[in-house]
Amino acid sequence: MIQSSTRSKWFTLFMLLFALFASAILGEDESISILKYVVIIAGLVSNGDFETPPTNGFPKDEAIVDGPSEIPGWKTSGTVELVSSGQKQGAMILIVPRGRHAVRLGNDAEISQELTVEKGSVYSVTFSAARTCAQLESLNVSVPPASQTIDLQTLYNVQGWDPYALAFEAEEDKVSLVFTNPGMEEDPTCGPIIDDIAIKKLFTPERPKGTNSLFAFFLLNFSANLFINFLLTRSFLLHLFFSSENAVINGDYEEGPWMFPNVSLGVLLPTKLDEETSSIPGWIIESNRAVRYIDSYHYSVPQGKRAIELLSGKEGIISQMVETTPNKPYTMSFALGHARDKCKQPLAVMAFAGDQAQNIHYTPDSNSTFQIANLNFTAKAERTRVAFYSVYYNTRTDDMSSLCGPVVDDVRVWFSEARRNGFGGLGLWVFVLVLVLVLG
Ligand SMILES: [Ca+2]
């Protein structure tokens, strides 16, 4: 799925020409989304779903694949087993997250695959994992030297499996993606099942400062006619107003890990205290539980196509250090929503901005699935931490067990005084009004 560098350049050139052509036909929204695909080449790694048959065919029940290269596309070591849906272990039916097959890692077993990437870029790996036994199971995912072990003990939903995402920065053009079961269970056939391994190159969205974002929009809307049309759209006016001083990077969470279009479970983001290589550029997952990255195809999302659902009370925290000017007043605003996933109310978040903390309950107007909340604070330093966690420990009403919680999206932090003077204040509203009157 990852192109070689020459092929990738030709592909990029082709896609750019295609995007230019498409933008002339489709208009700005579509051309922006096509332009995004120019830089994001993403999807399953080679045989990432384990559905490619081995040369001898898929093993029958109980068969164990030993030795290297028995699973197409992967190197294996230790007890690595291709499992089939419906396969039993004792009285238990093994979980195959999607399709007909997945792989199970026994004690100390591992699978690995070499990937061609772009040195210096940040990638996110999405994979599905399930545990097989009642004991504590974990899975180590590494792209040496980066390595992270995720705990599979917590079941986040009743399906018994979840998609997860982890990020790494490519230190070379060729890297090795390794999944290891670090466990030493008494029963050697216990061990995590993994499936659907995909990768996506991440880009870090620019902090949307006024002139930069305007310039970017001019670039994207180089055709004069399209630009006039674009000026008329509400999104542009909102963008012009709100983004002129927003200090939050990726505050709308639109950039994040690969999601399979037909998987309805979102993607869990385990703890990662390294800001540079987060699967959600700009954001850090703190504390010891995951948060869920959700999409608008399966959940209610306040803005755009992606948002964050907070889980596990104060055990799941998402935060960002934003640039601020000391001793200046700021406002943080964000959308607080319900994912429409049968999550039992009440929902509430604890929102932090600098030294301010506020408990905000989800009480939207009727018909809406979200509300906008504000928090005023005075910056104490050149970097200010903003953070969110769920006040309650919520579960779904239908199974009383799947973890869920409040949705956070569209986080903005801006210099409050900017609205009272200059272009960012009254002048901007006059400008917007004139635009609407003249062009509308
Ligand atoms: Ca969003």
Find the 308 Cα to ligand 1 centroid distance in Å. 8
Find the 369 Cα to ligand 1 centroid distance in Å. 14
Average pLDDT over residues 139-150: 92
Find the 255 Cα to ligand 1 centroid distance in Å. 9
**Does one domain contain both 90 and 127?**
yes
**Does one domain contain both 301 and 367?**
yes
pLDDT digits (tens, 9 = 90+) for 35-88: 444 333 689 999 999 999 998 888 765 445 444 448 999 999 998 999 999 888
pLDDT of residue 332: 97
Q: 217 vs 107, which has greater pLDDT?
A: 107
Find the 228 Cα to ligand 1 centroid distance in Å. 26
pLDDT of residue 434: 64
Find the 303 Cα to ligand 1 centroid distance in Å. 4
Find the 334 Cα to ligand 1 centroid distance in Å. 10
Find the 179 Cα to ligand 1 centroid distance in Å. 31
Number of domains in the chain: 3
Find the 221 Cα to ligand 1 centroid distance in Å. 22
pLDDT over 60 (residue 237): no
**Does one domain contain both 288 and 337?**
yes
Find the 190 Cα to ligand 1 centroid distance in Å. 39
| Closest-CA residue to 99 (of 54, 65, 55, 53) | 53
3-state secondary structure the chain: CCCCHHHHHHHHHHHHHHHHHHHHHHCHHHHHHHHHHHHCCCEECCCCCCCCCCCCCCCCCCCCECCCCCCCCCEEECCEEEEECCCEECCEECCCCCCCEEEEECCCCEEEEEEECCCCCEEEEEEEEECCCCCCCEEEEEECCEEEEEECCCCCCCCCEEEEEEEEECCCCEEEEEEECCCCCCCCCCCCEEEEEEEEEECCCCCCEHHHHHHHHHHHCCCHHHHHHHHCCHHHHHHHHHCCECCCCCCCCCCCCCCCCCCCCCEEECCECCHHHCCCCCCEEECCCCEEEEECCCCCCCCCCEEEECCCHHHCEEEEEEECCCCCEEEEEEEEECCCCCECCCCEEEEEECCEEEEEECCCCCCCCEEEEEEEEECCCCEEEEEEEECCCEEECCCCCCEECCEEEEEEEEEHHHHHCHHHCHHHHHHHHHHHHHHC
Whether the model pTM is above 0.85: no
Find the 254 Cα to ligand 1 centroid distance in Å. 5
Average pLDDT over residues 173-190: 87
pLDDT of residue 256: 97
**Does one domain contain both 88 and 182?**
yes
pLDDT over 70 (residue 322): yes
Find the 155 Cα to ligand 1 centroid distance in Å. 26
CATH no. for residue 396? 2.60.120.260
Work out the percent of the chain whose per-residue pLDDT is above 70. 73
Find the 61 Cα to ligand 1 centroid distance in Å. 44
**Does one domain contain both 59 and 185?**
yes
Amino acid at 388: F
Find the 3 Cα to ligand 1 centroid distance in Å. 29
Find the 186 Cα to ligand 1 centroid distance in Å. 45
Find the 117 Cα to ligand 1 centroid distance in Å. 27
pLDDT of residue 167: 94
pLDDT digits (tens, 9 = 90+) for 218-235: 444 444 445 545 544 544
Average pLDDT over residues 344-357: 96
The answer as to whether 434 is a domain residue is no
pLDDT of residue 39: 36
Average pLDDT over residues 122-135: 89
Find the 317 Cα to ligand 1 centroid distance in Å. 17
**Does one domain contain both 35 and 81?**
no
The answer as to whether 426 is a domain residue is no
pLDDT of residue 126: 97
**Does one domain contain both 149 and 270?**
no
Find the 106 Cα to ligand 1 centroid distance in Å. 39
Looking at 149, 171, 202, the residue that finishes a domain is 202
Residue 122 domain boundaries: 44-202
Find the 47 Cα to ligand 1 centroid distance in Å. 31
Find the 304 Cα to ligand 1 centroid distance in Å. 4
pLDDT of residue 139: 94
**Does one domain contain both 52 and 190?**
yes
Cα 263 → chain centroid = 14
pLDDT of residue 56: 82
The answer as to whether 62 is a domain residue is yes
**Does one domain contain both 257 and 395?**
yes
Find the 439 Cα to ligand 1 centroid distance in Å. 29
Find the 248 Cα to ligand 1 centroid distance in Å. 13
Which range is least confidently modeled, 186-190, 265-269, 332-336, 357-361?
186-190
Average pLDDT over residues 86-114: 91
Find the 319 Cα to ligand 1 centroid distance in Å. 16
Q: CA separation (Å) from 59 to 2, 53, 70, 103, 366?
A: 29, 9, 10, 12, 55
Residue 435's pLDDT band (cuts 50, 70, 90): low
pLDDT over 60 (residue 169): yes
The answer as to whether 227 is a domain residue is yes
Find the 342 Cα to ligand 1 centroid distance in Å. 20
pLDDT of residue 244: 52
pLDDT of residue 272: 76
pLDDT of residue 271: 84
Find the 267 Cα to ligand 1 centroid distance in Å. 15
pLDDT of residue 219: 43
Find the 25 Cα to ligand 1 centroid distance in Å. 26
The answer as to whether 440 is a domain residue is no
pLDDT of residue 173: 94
The answer as to whether 185 is a domain residue is yes
Average pLDDT over residues 337-362: 97
